[in-house]
Amino acid sequence: MIGIDWFLALSALLFCIGIVGVLIRKNAIVIFMCVELMLNAVNLSLVSFSSHYGNIDGQILVFFSLAIAAAEAVVGLAIIIAIFRNNLSVDISNINLLRW
Amino acid sequence: MITYSFIFLAVLAVASALMMVISKNTVNSALFLVFNMMSLAGLFLLLQAQFLAVIQILVYAGAIMVLFLFVIMLLNVDEEQSLFNKLRLKYFVAFLLGVSVFAQILYSIGSFSDTLPMISSKMAEVGTVEAVGDVLYTKYLLPFHIIAMLLTAAMNGALMIAQHKVRTEDNK
C-alpha cells in the first residue's frame, strides 16, 4: 500500500516543474499553463491529506480552488488577448510597458 | 495493484508535465497539460475522491483547456525557437531554483513523515458525491454562493477586457 508521503512528493515534484516552466518559458500562454499545473499539484496534496485523515474539508477546498482556477483562467486569457491586440505578440520579453 | 497504478499514473503525470514545459509548440503544450490533468484525475480516483476526479476532467480537461486551445488558435502564435538551441545561464539558474525548492519540500516532509496519518478507514465514504454535496450545501453554503457570484463577475470582466472596441463614424 502506498503511503501519503509518496503523494506529497509527487505533488511537490509537479509544483517544482511548474516553477521551472514559469521561469524559463517566454510564451505568456505557456506560463499560464504552468501556473495551472502548480494549482493542480497543490490540489493533489489537499486531496491526499483529506483522504488520509478521513476529513472532507480538504476536498471542499479543492472544489473551491477549481472554481477560482476557472475564473482566473478566463480573466487571464482575456488579458492575454488584449495584450496581443496591442502588441501583436505574447512573448513576455516584448511586454515592457511598465518596466523602467 | 494500487501501488502499480500509482507508479504508472505518477510517471505519466511527471512525464507529461515535463513535456509540457519543454515542447516548443504551444498546442502540443496544451495537449500535454490535458494529459497531465487526466492522470491527476486517475490519482484522485486512487485516493477515493470520485467526485473530484469527475470534476477535474469536466472542468479542467473539458472547459478550461478548450478555452486555452481556443485562445491559442485565435492568436495564431508562431513557434518559439527550441529552448535548448543555446544554453543560457537563465535556464541553469531556473533549474537550480526548482531543484532547491523541491529539496526543501522533501526535507520538510521527511522531518514530520512519522507523524503523518496512515490510510483512514473512512477513506471510501469521504469522497462520494453524497458526502461532498451534503457538506457543500450545509456547512459551506455561503462560500458556495460567493463562488457563484465570483464566476459571474469573472465572466463579465473577461467580456469587458477582451471585447474589441468598434469605432464607428458616429460615436467618434
Residue B148 pLDDT level (bands cut at 50, 70, 90): very high
Share of chain B above pLDDT 90, in %: 44
Residue B172 has pLDDT above 50, yes or no: no
Residue A34, in any domain of the structure: yes
Average confidence (pLDDT) over B67-87: 76
Residues of B whose CB is below 8 A from A13: 14, 102
Residues of B whose CB is below 8 A from A83: none
Residue B43 pLDDT level (bands cut at 50, 70, 90): very high
Domain range enclosing A81: 4-91
Residues of B whose CB is below 8 A from A85: 164
Look at A82 and B126; give whichever has higher pLDDT: A82
Q: For residue B132, what is its C-alpha cell?
A: 461532498
Contact B116 A1 (CB under 8 A): no
Count how many domains chain A has. Answer: 1
Residue A30, in any domain of the structure: yes
Report how far Cα A81 is from the mean position of its chain's Cα atoms.
19
Look at A100 and B32; give whichever has higher pLDDT: B32
Residue B166, in any domain of the structure: yes
Domain range enclosing B167: 128-171
CATH of the domain at A42: 1.10.287.3510
Residue B101, in any domain of the structure: no
Nearest CB to B132; choose among A54, A59, A68: A59
Cα separation, B125 vs B40, whole angstroms? 20
Q: What is the pLDDT of residue B167?
A: 56
Residue B114, in any domain of the structure: no
Q: Which residues 49-88 on chain A approach chain B with CB closer than 8 angstroms?
A: 50-57, 59-60, 62-64, 66-75, 77-82, 84-85
Residues of B whose CB is below 8 A from A78: 157-159, 161-162
3-class DSSP state of A80: helix
Of all residues in chain B, the one with the smallest CA distance to A41 is B40
Residue B155, in any domain of the structure: yes
Count how many domains chain B has. Answer: 1
Pair B126, A50: CB distance under 8 Å: yes
* CB < 8 Å & 24+ apart, contacts of B104-109: B105/A12, B105/A15, B105/A16, B106/A9, B106/A12, B109/A5, B109/A8, B109/A9, B109/A12
Average confidence (pLDDT) over A10-39: 92
- A·B CB contacts under 8 A: 224
Average confidence (pLDDT) over A36-63: 90
Residue B80 pLDDT level (bands cut at 50, 70, 90): low
Residue A98, in any domain of the structure: no
Cα separation, A95 vs A73, whole angstroms? 19
Average confidence (pLDDT) over B55-74: 89
Residue B15 has pLDDT above 90, yes or no: yes
Average confidence (pLDDT) over B49-57: 91
Residue B88, in any domain of the structure: no
Residue B81 pLDDT level (bands cut at 50, 70, 90): low
Average confidence (pLDDT) over B9-36: 92
Most confident of A47-51, B40-44, B128-132: B40-44
Query: Cell 518596466, residue?
Result: A99
Residue A69 has pLDDT above 50, yes or no: yes
Residue B167, in any domain of the structure: yes
